[in-house]
Chains A and B, each alone.
Chain A
Amino acid sequence: MADAGDIIPIVLKGTPASPGVATGPIEVISHRDLNISSEPIHEEDVESHLVKAEKALDHVKNQLIELQATQDNQEIVGILEAQVEIVKDPELLARVNQLIRKENKSAGFALYSAFNEFIQLLQQSGQDWIKDRVIDIQSLRDMIIHQTSGSDVLQNDTEGAVLFTEELSPTELIEFSESEIAAIVMQHGGTTSHSVIIAQSLGIPCVVGVEWKRTQIGKNAIAAVDATAGEIIINPDSRTLNDFIKRERNEEIRRLQTNDIKKLPNQTECGETFFLRGNIEFEEELIRVDEYQAKGIGLLRTETLFLRQGYFDIERHTELYKLILKSTGSYPVVIRLLDVGGDKLPGKKFEEQNPFLGWRGIRMLLDEPLLLKNQLRSAFYAASEFPGRVKLLIPMVSDMSEVKEVKASIDLVKSELIADGISIEDVPVGIMVEVPSVALLADEIAPLVDFFSIGTNDLTQYTLAADRGNERVSKHFNSNHPAIWKLIQMSYDAAKHASIPISVCGEMAGQPVMAAALLGLGIRDLSMNPASITEVKKMLCHSRLDECRELFERLLHSSGGEEADRYANYWTEKF
């Protein structure tokens, strides 16, 4: 045993849950001292305990709802929503009341028992996801019980601290994060527990499954945490501590560089301008479009709104399109027509053996003319308020005839709207290049449309005959395959010849080295998940066009996907 004052480092291991390096004073946050008495209460106290339990549940519910209102991350909002439902659970409430009224249990004990009865049932079901949910429910339970005894765990001084806890509820975590905690070390908690998901999205380093003991933590102890590796050192020696502080600082520098990159103009080292836009689906993502400075929306997916409602709600769609247009300045917004499988239509019940080769996208829309017309109406309503900014994108085109049919449908909708006295803006109509036939016939199709947008994911899976969801063939699914580059080049050449714009909106655009190669080919318009923009911009701002051109040529002329990948890796490292 070490004497007091003779501080020895203690190394602990756990499961990495949210990456990062951090150091700080240790603050122990404990829920274990729950004040629960199993002693029966007096008959005359029953009412007061009923009120106490109700107030505690109400308090936590309101806390959750308030927190929810301050969050813009949809995942966090969803988690908090589920927790609100738990606190409001009628079966839970009934059981708590019964325990207090019929069995004379205290409010704390009744809550504890009622929660545990459900937790036991959940544990019996034996499914994987249950384990982490049980942890979430336990932490919620403890938070409520704390309320009944009037104690508040959130009184510690946590500024810049490394928190050592058994577990934290999502609510506690969000509140602690406001005092800029350095890291979290949890005894329990799975890597998919709700608290961990929140730690990840808030960028707080977190390690779970760490068996720390109170006796290991002396007064004023500090900890160095490498959450990426899952290692924690209590009382690190000065060399280790300095090493950690240096790593912490490097991470900070990288973050700052990101901010610097945001300030750079969207130009290559040699002064060539490019445009990076966002692929989005919900209004909630607009905040990220803004944060990463996307130049408008290169792909607005409209499927989820449709699927959520189960039918096409013209008003809701028009509203969504308008909101997105309103929030994206003077930049374009490309609305992609519904790209869903027909089995998702209300009242349609069938299964296809090969849904990706089946009745979907424009094939389905042309067979469901009312659905197509409704979406076109929504798009025109929105476009009339934001002239010159809306573009329409047709998914899954495989034949020229489909383009002609959609155009006929557009003309019909236009004339109907005009007849109704609604002013109409001309809207450019482009197609997704994602079925190989379109790339092969790009020369013939380009004069018929206003722009091309290459969907590299589907183009890859259709060209290489590799299902992108099938792990067994995942090595065959490689967008960096010369065959794909060849099709992209054909599409680019055709677009150039016909003088129509061409952009890429598949995952390729969001991979820095692939984006550089696309730029090398001549494509200046890339659309991606907004979170990818910074890394892509960093690569493109520091590249020259001639280097990118050479990269493209090398990938195009490689012997296969593997060789192309090797060259892409080499290029990235050189960079």
Chain B
Amino acid sequence: MVRKKVRVKNKAGLHARPSSVLVKTASKFDADFYIEMKGYKVNGKSILGVMTLAAEEGAELELILDGEDEYKALESISNLFKTEFGIED
């Protein structure tokens, strides 16, 4: 299992579009994926779950991955946060 803390850089927060990019990317990997924020944990492959986090700009999330391809998945997913999901708000 790997864990990594990331920060939301998108100005509008983790709204529908970035959530959709996040879930789509995560679903390509076999590893289970959870996101923890302020003690609240959601399935990172569930867009509705991710949206209920309502993570704002600057919010700190912890990515938790568990499975064979966890490192590859972690790299791809944390990259999304870094590049603001390729979305201009």
**Complexed CA–CA distance, A78 and B83 (Å):** 17
Of A78, A86, A91, A137, the residue contacting B17 (CB under 8 A) is A78
CB neighbors of B among A134-188 (8 A): 136-137
Please determine whether B82 and A310 come into contact, CB atoms closer than 8 angstroms. yes
**Complexed CA–CA distance, A247 and B83 (Å):** 46
**Complexed CA–CA distance, A438 and B15 (Å):** 41
Please determine whether B83 and A133 come into contact, CB atoms closer than 8 angstroms. no
Please determine whether B86 and A122 come into contact, CB atoms closer than 8 angstroms. no
Please determine whether B15 and A129 come into contact, CB atoms closer than 8 angstroms. yes
Please determine whether A118 and B86 come into contact, CB atoms closer than 8 angstroms. no
Please determine whether A308 and B83 come into contact, CB atoms closer than 8 angstroms. yes
CB neighbors of B among A202-258 (8 A): none
Set of chain A residues within 8 Å of B4, measured between Cβ atoms: none
Q: Mark B8-19, 1 if CB is under 8 A from A, else 0.
A: 000011011101
Of A90, A304, A308, the residue contacting B43 (CB under 8 A) is A90
Set of chain A residues within 8 Å of B20, measured between Cβ atoms: 78, 81-82, 85
Q: How far is the CB of B12 from chain A (nearest CB, A)?
A: 7
CB neighbors of B among A184-206 (8 A): 194
**Complexed CA–CA distance, A78 and B85 (Å):** 12
Please determine whether B46 and A91 come into contact, CB atoms closer than 8 angstroms. yes
Is A127's CB within 8 Å of the partner chain B? Answer: yes
Q: Which of A79, A89, A129, A309 has the most chain B CB atoms closer than 10 A to its own CB? A: A89
**Nearest CB to that of A114 among chain B residues?**
B48
Is A449's CB within 8 Å of the partner chain B? Answer: no
Q: Mark B51-88, 1 if CB is under 8 A from A, else 0.
A: 11110100000000000000000000001001110101
Q: How far is the CB of A239 from chain B (nearest CB, A)?
A: 45
Tier of interface size on chain B:
20 to 34
CB neighbors of A among B20-52 (8 A): 20, 23-24, 27, 43, 45-49, 51-52
Set of chain B residues within 8 Å of A308, measured between Cβ atoms: 83, 86
Q: How far is the CB of A343 from chain B (nearest CB, A)?
A: 10
Please determine whether A125 and B54 come into contact, CB atoms closer than 8 angstroms. yes
Set of chain B residues within 8 Å of A79, measured between Cβ atoms: 16
Set of chain A residues within 8 Å of B47, measured between Cβ atoms: 82, 85-86, 89
Please determine whether B48 and A86 come into contact, CB atoms closer than 8 angstroms. yes
Do A91 and B15 contact each other (CB < 8 Å), given the known contacts A81-B24, A307-B86, A346-B82? no
B→A interface (CB under 8 Å): 12-13, 15-17, 19-20, 23-24, 27, 43, 45-49, 51-54, 56, 79, 82-84, 86, 88
A→B interface (CB under 8 Å): 78-79, 81-82, 85-86, 88-92, 118, 121-122, 125-127, 129-130, 133, 136-137, 194, 304, 307-310, 344, 346
Top 8 closest A-B pairs, CB basis?
A: A125-B54, A308-B86, A82-B20, A91-B46, A85-B47, A121-B52, A118-B48, A310-B79
- Please name 15 further chain A to chain B contacts, defined as beta carbons within 8 Å, in addition to the given A85-B24, A122-B48, A127-B56, sorted by A numbering: A82-B16, A82-B19, A85-B23, A86-B48, A89-B46, A92-B48, A127-B54, A129-B12, A129-B15, A133-B51, A137-B48, A194-B16, A307-B86, A310-B79, A344-B83
Enumerate 5 A-B pairs (CB-CB under 8 Å) in ascending A order: A82-B20, A86-B48, A89-B47, A92-B48, A127-B56
